[in-house]
Chain A
């Protein structure tokens, strides 16, 4: 979906409506809660989960450019050594970013980018849907489950500000058994004239969406979504009407991912008491004509990060976002007959932020010992990344109950 950030949500509950809503929403108490907890805010945060849907090609994102095997595998899709943006060696290979990732390369030099290699889970699943589900639930079987951040929501109360997703459909990661994240949408489609300008309407809507004590069931859930919209939406509208996120100085088009991360930057900068943001961007399923498509996708991603990170040049408590950029799987080591690559397994996770400890983490998968399908075998359990976020961003001392086991954090934070 396309989001026009300046009109985003304000049509629903903006202007005088937002003012009219504050009366009902208990905003004062929420603000004081946020202030009270400020002293215990971990050094890094909030957490921004960036999902690249479709299966981003890790081998052509962080490129082992001195490996002959890489060139054998990739043929026409291989990025020549003289084009990569040099990152140095992890002890196994010399690596370079894809030439589109100029901002990430600059941030790497500033020590703000962690590259975690070989991340995946055991017994890779090559279905987009199943693999995304495994990543988002941190449950390996693919059976119906709750999201790993949904379980964190279940365990930490009912405040609707805790987690925010951009777009109407919540990804599974943000849905728990009892709690789910809030989400925000665009309201710019034709005919979006709304009754929110009328305080009487807003008051009645609030009454309509107030649950009875102890009420459960689908009607209660419907009411809670409306109530939470008023609480979160009015504040978000205020944030977006005040903040002015700079566009990428390079002038590159950051596309939809730029819009989404721009909204997140505004909300963080405004000081929303939100610990987790989630954005989702697709198009990485590059089965054919990959070279051009992938370069375009990475250019938009890099431009989006350029705009986002320009707002957060150095760590400030509550405004030291940690972006974790992942995809449901990497792509096949070998180029296919359509100048593309197919679904595969282990790939890289990039973590970016003003307070991130840059460097190589995890371990490069073997290029000689592959799985029966010729895919890279993972070296780093994805739940270690989550454990790091839960302990060192969200301040959960023992995240085992969220992850279904104990996983050692990685020192990128």
Chain B
């Protein structure tokens, strides 16, 4: 059974970075169920196209310990950003790359404090490999992840003086949300993570029993000689965590909600059975509300989603851009991969609709249109209506408001007197700035 192309486009924007106009025809021949199953299969299947993106040189701690070894951390950071953007562009398993992005948003960790691009890469691979599986398994791995250990101050947490940073954020941002634990729960659980260290020679997690508080703790109404692993297991299996994880994913895939939103309940039963993210994603895509008007019109693209989608429809990769160029533009819009502003991460919808972001979007759209191959428009007959149709078709916006259409026509009319090849760059820039293109 075929699927409405508009719904296919919606699914592929949310579960990936958008289908190309040429791909839509083929995808639309399939049933919704098959499309969803295919996306889900990609979560655990091979991704030859993505794997083929060459990893830039990234320095590990052992490498850096070699006497005389020098490296440029800033270059490694920018190269790593380009690497991930490139993977998002070319991947054959778009849902896996999308999930990695959403997990980065869920466990916001910044290179600006971690300082090692290599560690950011290691964490990124955890999202890719463990993200689709059991949520507790993922959090157990992230709790010992070198980037996370640095980010939330494991090095300043000692048996005699536990640092509460990781324990608090584990509950507040990563697994349960505020209001589901007390300050005493933070204090007690922080004791459990003492002795969790980063080994400065190997660059790996290291358990130091001499700096670990193995005493009895009271945590969320339970009493025991809890370890850090116990704490992770307890919080991931709390009902509050079920609601939190569901609400976060739904907010990025459908429309923003809180953990108390009624729709969360529709997923609790299934998710609480296995904490399996692949199953949860499938349930979300197959929920009627995923294609409701609220979902279709209620979510603004995150800047990374918008950029990758734009690069894809324009037939671009990261290649034409110098290291740091795309990151710099994203910085002006407010979302640089590997660089969330705080452990609170980024926001939704209105968060991306500041005037400052609007300025950043103009700059970015013009930069992309400047390097894209726009021969079809440049060699067009210059007739405004035909040029506008061609520009909208190029970026995958078959239907736009009268406002957007009129604005594009007025620009196309003002451009038609140009001699030589038609100045398509400006028209495509404006099309990329259409409010419709900002909607996920």
| A362 contacts the other chain (CB 8 A) | no
| B168 contacts the other chain (CB 8 A) | yes
- A11 to B359: give the CA distance in the assembly, Å: 9
- A185 to B160: give the CA distance in the assembly, Å: 45
28 contacts between A and B (CB under 8 A): A126-B183, A168-B334, A168-B354, A169-B341, A169-B354, A184-B359, A185-B357, A186-B332, A190-B322, A192-B363, A193-B367, A201-B411, A204-B430, A205-B362, A207-B407, A207-B410, A208-B403, A208-B408, A209-B435, A218-B300, A221-B349, A222-B435, A223-B435, A225-B358, A229-B362, A233-B355, A337-B158, A373-B183
Complex interface: stretch among B53-61, B121-129, B221-229, B323-331: B323-331
Pick from A168, A200, A340: contact of B415, CB below 8 A.
A200
Pick from A129, A182, A217: contact of B342, CB below 8 A.
A129
Interface string of A215-248 (1 = CB under 8 A from B): 0011111111110110011000000000000000
- A62 to B178: give the CA distance in the assembly, Å: 32
For residue A192, which residues in chain B have a CB less than 8 angstroms away from its CB? 329, 363, 367
| A114 contacts the other chain (CB 8 A) | no
Q: Are A193 and B359 in contact, CB atoms less than 8 angstroms apart? A: no
| B426 contacts the other chain (CB 8 A) | yes
| A111 contacts the other chain (CB 8 A) | no
- A223 to B403: give the CA distance in the assembly, Å: 10
Interface string of B330-368 (1 = CB under 8 A from A): 011110000001111011011101111111101100110
Interface string of B355-384 (1 = CB under 8 A from A): 111111011001100100000000000000
| Nearest A residue to B184, CB-CB | A372
- A70 to B342: give the CA distance in the assembly, Å: 31
| B436 contacts the other chain (CB 8 A) | yes
A169 CB to closest chain B CB, in angstroms?
4
| CB contact list, B167-201 vs A, under 8 A | 168-169, 172-173, 178-179, 183, 186-187
| Nearest B residue to A335, CB-CB | B161
A152 CB to closest chain B CB, in angstroms?
17
| CB contact list, B142-181 vs A, under 8 A | 153, 155-156, 158, 160-161, 163-165, 168-169, 172-173, 178-179
| B72 contacts the other chain (CB 8 A) | no
Q: Are A204 and B355 in contact, CB atoms less than 8 angstroms apart? A: no
Known: A168-B354, A184-B356, A233-B359. A226 touches B433 (CB 8 A): yes
| A250 contacts the other chain (CB 8 A) | no
- A192 to B164: give the CA distance in the assembly, Å: 42
A329 CB to closest chain B CB, in angstroms?
12
B interface with A by C-beta (< 8 Å):
153, 155-156, 158, 160-161, 163-165, 168-169, 172-173, 178-179, 183, 186-187, 258, 297-300, 321-322, 324-325, 328-329, 331-334, 341-344, 346-347, 349-351, 353-360, 362-363, 366-367, 370, 401, 403-404, 406-408, 410-411, 414-415, 425-426, 429-430, 433-436, 438-439
Q: Are A170 and B408 in contact, CB atoms less than 8 angstroms apart? A: no
Q: Are A193 and B436 in contact, CB atoms less than 8 angstroms apart? A: no
For residue B415, which residues in chain A have a CB less than 8 angstroms away from its CB? 200
For residue A165, which residues in chain B have a CB less than 8 angstroms away from its CB? 354, 356
Q: Are B163 and A167 in contact, CB atoms less than 8 angstroms apart? A: no
Q: Are A182 and B354 in contact, CB atoms less than 8 angstroms apart? A: yes
Pick from B161, B186, B366: contact of A195, CB below 8 A.
B366
Known: A127-B168, A180-B350. A288 touches B410 (CB 8 A): no
B323 CB to closest chain A CB, in angstroms?
10
For residue A180, which residues in chain B have a CB less than 8 angstroms away from its CB? 350, 353-354
Q: Are A222 and B353 in contact, CB atoms less than 8 angstroms apart? A: yes
| Nearest B residue to A190, CB-CB | B325
For residue A338, which residues in chain B have a CB less than 8 angstroms away from its CB? 155-156
* Total contacting residues, chain A, CB less than 8 A: 73
For residue A182, which residues in chain B have a CB less than 8 angstroms away from its CB? 354-356
- A186 to B258: give the CA distance in the assembly, Å: 33
B246 CB to closest chain A CB, in angstroms?
17
Known: A127-B178, A218-B439, A222-B438. A232 touches B355 (CB 8 A): yes
Q: Are A189 and B359 in contact, CB atoms less than 8 angstroms apart? A: no
| A160 contacts the other chain (CB 8 A) | yes
Q: Are B359 and A160 in contact, CB atoms less than 8 angstroms apart? A: no
| A194 contacts the other chain (CB 8 A) | yes
Q: Are A126 and B186 in contact, CB atoms less than 8 angstroms apart? A: yes
For residue A337, which residues in chain B have a CB less than 8 angstroms away from its CB? 156, 158, 160-161
| A12 contacts the other chain (CB 8 A) | yes
Q: Are B342 and A205 in contact, CB atoms less than 8 angstroms apart? A: no
| Nearest B residue to A184, CB-CB | B356
For residue B153, which residues in chain A have a CB less than 8 angstroms away from its CB? 287-288
For residue B407, which residues in chain A have a CB less than 8 angstroms away from its CB? 204-205, 207-208
| Nearest A residue to B401, CB-CB | A219
- A31 to B434: give the CA distance in the assembly, Å: 29
For residue B325, which residues in chain A have a CB less than 8 angstroms away from its CB? 189-191
| A143 contacts the other chain (CB 8 A) | yes
Q: Are B155 and A288 in contact, CB atoms less than 8 angstroms apart? A: yes
B127 CB to closest chain A CB, in angstroms?
21
B236 CB to closest chain A CB, in angstroms?
19
| Nearest A residue to B186, CB-CB | A126
For residue B358, which residues in chain A have a CB less than 8 angstroms away from its CB? 209, 225-226, 228-229
Known: A129-B344, A193-B367, A207-B403. A200 touches B298 (CB 8 A): no
- A373 to B414: give the CA distance in the assembly, Å: 68
For residue B156, which residues in chain A have a CB less than 8 angstroms away from its CB? 287-288, 336-338, 340
Q: Are A205 and B331 in contact, CB atoms less than 8 angstroms apart? A: no
Pick from B164, B258, B362: contact of A126, CB below 8 A.
B164
